[in-house]
Amino acid sequence: MASLIHELVARRTKDQFAACTLDTCPISSSYYFYRVSLAANATFLALFAISFIGFAVTFALTRRALAFTVAMLIGVILEVIGYVGRIESNKNQWQENGFLMQIVCLTIAPAFLAGGIYLCLRRIVYAFGPENSRISPEAYTRIFIPCDLVSLLLQAAGGGLASAESHSNKSPDTGDNIMVAGLAFQVLTLLIFMVLCVDFAIRTRRRYKSMGESAFDQNPLYVSLRGSWRFKGFIAALTLATICIFWRSVYRVAELGEGWTGNLIRRQWLFVGFEGVMVIVACFALNLFNPAFSFKEAMNGLGGLGSKKRIAKQENQEKAVSGSNSDVEAVPQAKTVGI
């Protein structure tokens, strides 16, 4: 009981403990309940920096997948900032800025990574054929991107409020609860996304069993794409990344749901395993099988920005050409009848 009171007092009167060090104050009086590992956090910082460079270089070389790249870059740079905050906390675990930096940035970063994942499903649906999907390819973007934004806004607002409350020596519970609500909504969105992905895979396989290759889009570009190892690797990488982000989000809901003094938040190994490892695996998987490389020219085809307009324009042109050919053929046919 005495130690619990000491922890609560430390958080309510943080200015009093500004001069604390590991030699003068118990670790339980800091913002963390464990000694923040410099080695683990420096490793994650380096790995996320490498991932950031990977996404930036890939876009510089290909000039494809702009929206996906922007989402991933923002998410990864937030991860970098978060781990900078944890390294700062290693130097002084009673410093509020490092703690708030890491808890806010590392909480909201995967929302951007999830947004990048959502953008990819539309491409996959077009590659196999929209007829295999229960909803239109564009519907995936229209449904999940707004949901991701809602999740992000809740997490960002909650993080900002929690930071302000902490700065004012008030309980951060209200802000933390808003962050948890945003994370919970992210978990629900990811779950629905995965269900629709599985549904699309099942419907595609059933149609393939009954119709063969005709169940798929026969555009030569997509036929070649589906047979490439890059595309198959991308499907596997996207699946792995989605599962990793999902389980990470489930963990953070459980962790932050207990508040900043709960049982889960006291265990560094859980944070390293379910936050750091899960997110970096997701990032590296999409680094290795970036859609800019995996889809190549297909990134400029159906499913791109303004694709409906291009499709309509193409269909109108084809109808116009078809109509002209019909008129040309109708003349000699009429002449034959006349003879």
Total domain count, the chain: 2
Report the percentage of the chain scoring pLDDT > 90.
59
d(CA 281, CA 287): 10
- For residue 17, the 8-state DSSP code is G
Residues 239 and 339 in one domain: no
Residues 139 and 205 in one domain: yes
Contacts of 254 (CB under 8 A, 6+ apart): 264
Q: How many residues in the chain?
A: 339
Which DSSP string corresponds to 200-247?
HHHHHHHHHHHHGGGGS---HHHHHHHTSHHHHHHHHHHHHHHHHHHH
Q: Which residue has the tokens 């169940």?
A: 215
Residues 319 and 212 in one domain: no
d(CA 321, CA 309): 18
Question: Taking the CA of residue 96 as centre, how many other CA atoms within 13 Å lie in the half-sphere pointing to its CB?
Answer: 18
Which is nearest to 51 in space by CA: 82, 84, 77? 77
Task: Give domain status of residue 315, yes or no.
Answer: yes
User: What is the pLDDT at residue 329?
Assistant: 46
Question: pLDDT averaged over the chain?
Answer: 84
Residues 325 and 285 in one domain: no
Task: Give domain status of residue 13, yes or no.
Answer: no
Which domain CATH number covers 103? Answer: 1.20.1070
Residues 263 and 327 in one domain: no
The CA-based angle 21-27-33, given to 5 degrees, is 140
Residues 241 and 268 in one domain: yes
Q: Please state the pTM of the whole predicted model.
A: 0.82
Residues 284 and 321 in one domain: no
Which is nearest to 254 in space by CA: 264, 244, 245? 264
Task: Give domain status of residue 204, yes or no.
Answer: yes
Residues 247 and 312 in one domain: no
Can you say whether the dihedral through the CA atoms of 98, 100, 103, 107 is positive or negative? negative
Task: Give domain status of residue 2, yes or no.
Answer: no
Mean of pLDDT values over 142-169: 89
Residues 136 and 119 in one domain: yes
Q: Which residue has the tokens 């997509």?
A: 222
Mean of pLDDT values over 243-256: 95
Helix (H, G, I), strand (E, B) or coil at 335: helix
Record the tokens describing residue 318, joined without a space: 């084809």
Q: Check residues 8 and 188 and name the one with the higher pLDDT.
A: 188
Record the tokens describing residue 88, joined without a space: 């700062």
* 303 contacts 137 by C-beta, under 8 angstroms: yes
Residues 209 and 152 in one domain: yes
* 44 contacts 68 by C-beta, under 8 angstroms: no
- Decide if pLDDT at 13 tops 80: no
d(CA 176, CA 164): 11
* Residue 247 phi, psi dihedral angles, 5° rounding: -65, -35
Identify the weakest region by mean pLDDT among 24-38, 124-138, 313-327: 313-327
User: What is the pLDDT at residue 140?
Assistant: 93
User: What is the pLDDT at residue 297?
Assistant: 74
* Residue 104 phi, psi dihedral angles, 5° rounding: -80, -50
d(CA 57, CA 298): 20
Task: Give domain status of residue 223, yes or no.
Answer: yes
- How buried is 2 (Cβ within 10 angstroms: 0-12 exposed, 13-18 middle, 19+ buried)? exposed
Domain that holds residue 326: 308-339
Mean of pLDDT values over 88-106: 90
Residues 258 and 332 in one domain: no
Identify the weakest region by mean pLDDT among 24-28, 121-125, 273-277, 300-304: 300-304
d(CA 52, CA 109): 13
Task: Give domain status of residue 72, yes or no.
Answer: yes
pLDDT tens by residue, 177-224: 999 999 999 999 999 999 999 999 999 999 999 998 888 988 888 988
Report the percentage of the chain scoring pLDDT > 70.
83
Task: Give domain status of residue 278, yes or no.
Answer: yes
Residues 200 and 249 in one domain: yes
Task: Give domain status of residue 316, yes or no.
Answer: yes
- For residue 277, the 8-state DSSP code is I
